[in-house]
Amino acid sequence: MPTAVITGASAGVGLAAARALASDGWRVIAVGRNAQRCAEAEADLRAAAPCADITMLRGDLSLMTDAARLADEIAALTDRIDLLANNAGGMISEPRVTSEGLEESFAGNHLGPFVLTTRLLPLLLAASQPRVINTSSDGSEMIPGLNWDNLQDPLANSPGAAYCSGKLANVIFAAELARRFGGQGLLAYSFHPGTVASNFFSHVPDTTRAHTDALEKITPEKGAETLLWLNSQPAEVLENGGYYYCRAPRVPNPIAHDPANGERLWALSEKLVASSRA
């Protein structure tokens, strides 16, 4: 039985993907942040797939201690991971710093997933053809790049820019995972799910909501289609490290696939995590 770890699985795209995989016979280790939504999601998954092996864990990936704890809890549950879907993320309404001293948006969208993924690498590499799939956004395409001098202050410290920076980091991180570990069989991808009708928009700034309220939105199930497709396609028909949308390759931000940027992001991520005030 293959094993999937899916973050942000208490609602939206993550829950839709978890439901589909559980119904298809996968063991699902689902991660959510909100206690009530986690309970509701677990009930949903058990109703959809009564015979499936489902575990729901709670944790806040904007906190590095929680990301590390989740990795330890997952390692206690399984000896291999076939799919890690780094789906958790979102936009916050105003700039905030976590209790560990990290900018909350970049921490939740990139640094927490970075910690979780790197700590789970031994379990991923124990699988026959492991995949890491990062849920990004077309927001990754809307900024010129990252503030390499200070990732804690992404482009004037606006919530929108912070979100876009984290989503661009998701794309760069997937490409760098493919470069570093593709030779050991790891497959890594990022994708834009589309504009999904979910609780994502309940946390965005008013100016963002004024814009997004007018956008046509798709269902979480539709948003999860590319994630599930990337998980099911033969490796040879996909670009390891690639960026996708609507089950097809998509041109990423011009800086995304530069190996120098991948190395730089990895090193700076390690430095930020190490310096966090846990």
User: Who has greater pLDDT, 218 or 107?
Assistant: 107
Mean pLDDT taken over the chain: 92
Structural domain tally of the chain? 1
Tokens of 31: 């991660």
CATH number reported for the structural domain that contains residue 210 in this entry: 3.40.50.720
Confidence band, pLDDT 50/70/90 cuts, at residue 96: confident
Angle of helix 112-125 relative to helix 64-75, nearest 10 degrees? 20
Residue the block writes with tokens 């120098």 = 260
pLDDT, tens digit, 9 for 90 and up, residues 214-260: 568 789 999 999 999 999 999 999 999 999 999 999 999 999 999 99
What pLDDT sits at residue 218?
A: 85
Query: Is the model's pLDDT at 95 over the cut of 90?
Result: no
Q: Is the pLDDT of residue 199 over 70?
A: no
In this structure, the chain runs to a length of: 278
The per-residue pLDDT for 204 is 52
Q: Rounded to 5 degrees, what are φ and ψ at 168?
A: -65, -40
For residue 121, the model assigns a pLDDT of 98
First to last CA, the chain: 36
Question: For residue 66, what are the domain limits?
Answer: 3-275
- In order of 177, 230, 264, the CA distances from 197 in angstroms are 30, 21, 34
Alpha-carbon gap, residue 7 to 33, rounded angstroms: 9
Of 163, 189, 243, 244, which one is the catalytic site residue?
Answer: 163
**Angstrom distance (rounded) from CA 236 to CA 249:** 14
Active site residue 189: no
